[in-house]
A and B are shown apart, each in its own frame.
Chain A
């Protein structure tokens, strides 16, 4: 469950997990956002699972890291058009021309240009449109 800029909702309580069959498996794909099971805590590829009430919890924070051969290709397929645009046009012209890319600008030459991050740390927010 991804709710942009917020923690994941706890959808499954410890009590619900107590009703599951022993040896059942939970996979939490929202660990980066705090997890969607009440019993979740982040684990690693070196030590991926733990048990709560005999229910296996798999809560690895960076699942795609286990399949880099696939993940790298999938990531670069998506990022390459934006890389090309930034390289071809330069950052300023590229973000001016492409509102999708402009949304990605978190910091611009010393200014905080992403509202959610500005709010999180009490920083002054400057809209990117005021800078480019």
Chain B
């Protein structure tokens, strides 16, 4: 199959649908991969890295969109609607429930649209939404720590404290992927108050030891 990887066009979107490692696997399986020039630059991948694993770099978005299957990160924007055509297989985040115009375009133009966010395992989990929730959960701790700095307008506490000085208190709301990954962020003695819908322990290292409406402490990581 011919697979197209256009450069993302949404403002400040620097992700790309396929890494050079992914291209290698697709090429080894016998497929042809067309990568729009510069598509990987925002994520740290050069055209040369894609060429080295067998991709073909194409100069225009239209060239990548001409493929049988187009893989992306974000939903097509209005400027990209012209590339939507009957028989195209589009695999990307779509979030159609919040995009009526795009929904009509995909239907009228007879595109087969497979949305990352609705791919669902039999246990109800969403395997293509989970990785971004994992990122957001970890980032939430990081940005929370950053904005607690006095120089950033915050309260002036170091999130983890230092020996002899209490760390900041952290309250986590929810019990999903974002919340559970935040618990992996451990610091010595850091306090964690965690409210979640069901008082079930999560099978994670360094987890909060408290149950719903109680609080626990992050466990010291094994050294």
Chain A residues near B (Cβ < 8 Å): 1-2, 4-5, 11-12, 21-25, 27, 29, 32, 36, 44-46, 48-49, 51, 56, 58, 62-80, 82-84, 86-88, 90-91, 95, 99-101, 103-112, 114, 116-117, 120-121, 123
Contact = CB atoms under 8 A, between A and B. Distances in A.
Contact of B155 (A22, A71, A106, A121): A22
Nearest to A8: B174
B70 to A, nearest CB: 11
Contacts of A117: 96-97, 103
A23 B153 contact: yes
B26 A103 contact: no
B119 A107 contact: no
B122 A100 contact: yes
B75 to A, nearest CB: 11
B12 A45 contact: yes
A36 B176 CA distance: 14
A72 B147 CA distance: 25
A23 B156 contact: yes
B91 interface: yes
Contacts of A74: 131-132, 134-135
B1 A90 contact: yes
Contacts of B178: 2, 29
A66 B143 CA distance: 11
A102 B103 CA distance: 18
Interface in B1-18: 1, 3, 12-18
Contact of B97 (A44, A100, A116): A116
B89 interface: yes
Nearest to B124: A4
Contact of B26 (A1, A45, A58, A84): A84
Nearest to A28: B140
Interface of B: 1, 3, 12-19, 21-22, 25-26, 29, 31, 40, 42-45, 69, 71, 73, 86-87, 89, 91, 94-97, 100, 103, 106-108, 110-116, 118-122, 126-137, 139-140, 143-144, 147-148, 150, 152-156, 173-174, 176, 178
Given A78-B131, A79-B116, A117-B97, A72 B16 contact: yes
Given A1-B173, A36-B173, 12 more contacts: A2-B133, A12-B173, A25-B144, A45-B12, A62-B13, A73-B19, A74-B131, A78-B127, A82-B119, A87-B29, A91-B69, A106-B115
A29 B25 contact: no
B55 to A, nearest CB: 13
Given A65-B13, A87-B69, A107-B113, A82 B128 contact: yes
Contacts of A116: 97
Given A5-B97, A36-B173, A117-B96, A105 B3 contact: no
Given A71-B15, A71-B135, A83 B147 contact: no
21 contacts: A23-B153, A23-B155, A49-B147, A56-B153, A67-B135, A68-B16, A72-B40, A72-B45, A76-B22, A87-B69, A100-B119, A104-B116, A104-B118, A104-B119, A106-B113, A106-B118, A107-B107, A108-B112, A109-B86, A110-B110, A112-B107
In the A-B complex, the 5 residue pairs with the smallest Cβ-Cβ separation, listed nearest first, are: A23-B155, A104-B119, A68-B14, A72-B43, A74-B131
A128 B173 CA distance: 36
